[in-house]
């Protein structure tokens, strides 16, 4: 087997990672556009202030674009790119959950390329501004992935802009920023992180190194999911584990991509407003059951063992406790979702590609609240 690993992001991990490594920003340029979420959490958790203080200390001119909504739209990143152009930004800093970090990557592309929406997603560009990423959720791993997931109303779905050009140049991970995360967002994002590692492990693109990294992510995240399902409030040490686990899971999918849970989950998010991680979690148990029944692959047992789940049943119970009931969907909606996600690239990335009929059965089971338990 011939395989490749490309993960060029420089990573700083630990409390005060930004403040203690501020000189890294100097190498990125003299003007920065700082992209963050519209809810103001980056102001409250200290991440925005840390970045701005460091930029000031190196006389880097900055402007804040704080209008990014969850599941950012193409039009939002176009607005951000306009501001980057007016500023003459040399680089972009994305601070927040996956939404602001993904938005920052697309802004970095659109700030220096004139592209239609189609050409943006078709990656008709060969350069982008450098991006620094500062996660404040422990879930997406976007700080180390070459993906920007944008909501694109023209196709009534979310769409993955994927290119090695948008790997962040540097990532600063400070678990302290996640300490004030509300419990539901902590749980949703932890499920997203676990889902990345789990899906990566069963992709056709998995390789020995992505598997090793995914296994380590599952080893760390599995017990944390179980603790969250018991409604334990995470300590700082657990926040650290969640952020490290999501980093590892992000590194795994940076090489392999995701598969069925993400493809289906995007529809639940786009049409039903279900938060990203929770949407994946609703699909995970039935997806695991499908792979189990279809392939009987020994990696399934390995994944449960390494994550400290006794069985598929226990796994399903934990995930269901964390994500709750799936949304009510009419027959028309089910048809529509199926027609959309069955075309998604991620479907064929699973170990075994389901037929349209198998996908319909899986969707039915998901919406009837899972296989077992
Ligand atoms: P998010 O959409 O970035 O944020 C969700 C909510 O959490 C927002 O209201 C946000 O508030 C709030 N929040 C963020 N950090 C907080 C903190 N420290 N304390 C309190 N509230 C905080 O959520 P996410 O799950 O991290 O990201 C989801 C997005 O990432 C989706 O669009 C998904 O498709 C994408 N994603 C990308 C990748 C990738 O590789 N690029 C992988 C998986 C998922 P604010 O409005 O203040 O920000
Ligand atoms: Fe995800």
Q: Answer yes or no: is pLDDT of 373 > 80.
A: no
**Residue nearest to ligand 1 atom 44, measured at CA:** 140
> For residue 267, what are its two tokens?
């529809």
Contact 213, 251 (CB under 8 A): yes
Question: What's the chain's length in residues?
Answer: 373
Mean pLDDT of 89-98: 98
Mean pLDDT of 339-368: 96
Q: How crowded is residue 150: how many other Cβ atoms within 10 Å of its Cβ?
A: 24
Top mutation candidate among 7, 38, 40, 41 for ligand 1, by most atoms within 8 Å of CB:
41
Topology annotation, domain 183-367? Dehydroquinate synthase-like, alpha domain (1.20.1090)
Cα distance between the two ends of the chain? 39
Give the percent of the chain with pLDDT over 90: 98
Q: What is the pLDDT of residue 372?
A: 52
Average pLDDT score over the chain: 97
Q: Answer yes or no: is pLDDT of 34 > 70.
A: yes
- Residue 350, C-beta contacts closer than 8 angstroms, at least 6 positions apart: 199, 202, 203, 204, 259, 260, 291
Q: What is the pLDDT of residue 370?
A: 62
Top mutation candidate among 46, 70, 134, 160 for ligand 1, by most atoms within 8 Å of CB:
70
Band (371; pLDDT cuts 50, 70, 90):
low
Contact 98, 137 (CB under 8 A): yes
Domain boundaries, the chain: 10-178, 183-367
Looking at the chain, which runs of residues are DSSP E strands?
10-13, 31-37, 61-68, 91-96, 131-135, 147-152, 157-162, 170-173
Q: Answer yes or no: is pLDDT of 116 > 80.
A: yes
Q: Answer yes or no: is pLDDT of 213 > 60.
A: yes
**Residue nearest to ligand 1 atom 15, measured at CA:** 136
Contact 3, 160 (CB under 8 A): no
Helix (H, G, I), strand (E, B) or coil at 64: strand
Q: What is the pLDDT of residue 185?
A: 98
CATH class of 10-178: alpha beta
Q: What is the pLDDT of residues 166-209, one digit of tens each?
A: 999 999 999 999 999 999 999 999 999 999 999 999 999 999 99
**Residue nearest to ligand 1 atom 42, measured at CA:** 140
Q: What is the pLDDT of residues 245-300, one digit of tens each?
A: 999 999 999 999 999 999 999 999 999 999 999 999 999 999 999 999 998 889 99
Sheet order of strands, 131-135 included: 10-13, 170-173, 131-135, 91-96, 31-37, 61-68
The β-bridge relationship of strands 147-152 and 157-162 is: antiparallel
Q: Whole-angstrom Cα distance, residue 372 to residue 358? A: 18
């Amino acid at each position: 087997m011939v395989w490749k690993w490309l993960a060029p992001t420089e990573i700083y991990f630990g409390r005060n990672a930004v403040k203690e490594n501020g000189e890294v920003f100097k190498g990125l340029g003299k003007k920065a556009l700082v992209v963050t979420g519209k809810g103001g959490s980056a102001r409250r958790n200290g991440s925005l202030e840390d970045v701005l203080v460091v930029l000031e200390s190196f006389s880097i001119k900055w402007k804040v674009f704080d209008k990014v909504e969850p599941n950012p739209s193409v039009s939002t990143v176009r607005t951000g790119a306009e501001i980057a152009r007016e500023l003459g930004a040399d680089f972009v800093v994305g601070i927040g959950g996956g939404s602001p970090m993904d938005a920052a990557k697309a802004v970095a592309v659109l700030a220096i390329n004139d592209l239609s929406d189609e050409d943006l997603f078709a990656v008709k560009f060969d350069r982008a501004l450098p991006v620094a990423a500062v996660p404040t959720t422990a879930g997406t791993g976007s700080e180390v992935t070459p993906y920007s997931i944008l909501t694109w109303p023209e196709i009534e779905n979310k769409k993955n802009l994927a290119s090695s050009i948008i790997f962040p140049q540097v990532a600063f991970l400070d678990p302290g920023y996640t300490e004030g995360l509300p419990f539901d967002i902590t749980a949703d994002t932890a499920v997203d992180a676990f889902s990345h590692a789990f899906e990566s492990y069963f992709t056709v693109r998995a390789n020995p190194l992505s598997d090793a990294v995914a296994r380590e992510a599952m080893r760390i995240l599995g017990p944390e999911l179980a603790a969250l399902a018991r409604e334990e409030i995470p300590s700082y040490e657990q926040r650290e584990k969640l952020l490290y686990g999501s980093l590892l899971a992000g590194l795994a999918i940076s090489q392999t991509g995701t598969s069925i849970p993400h493809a289906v989950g995007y529809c639940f998010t786009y049409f039903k407003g279900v938060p990203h991680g929770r949407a994946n979690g609703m699909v995970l148990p039935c997806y695991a059951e499908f792979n189990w029944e279809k392939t009987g692959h020994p990696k399934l047992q390995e994944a449960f063992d390494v994550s400290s789940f006794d069985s598929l049943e226990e796994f399903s119970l934990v995930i269901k406790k964390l994500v709750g009931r799936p949304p009510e969907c009419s027959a028309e909606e089910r048809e529509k979702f199926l027609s959309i996600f069955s075309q998604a690239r991620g479907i064929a990335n699973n170990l075994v590609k389901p037929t349209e009929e198998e996908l319909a059965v899986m969707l039915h089971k998901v919406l009837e609240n899972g296989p077992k338990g």
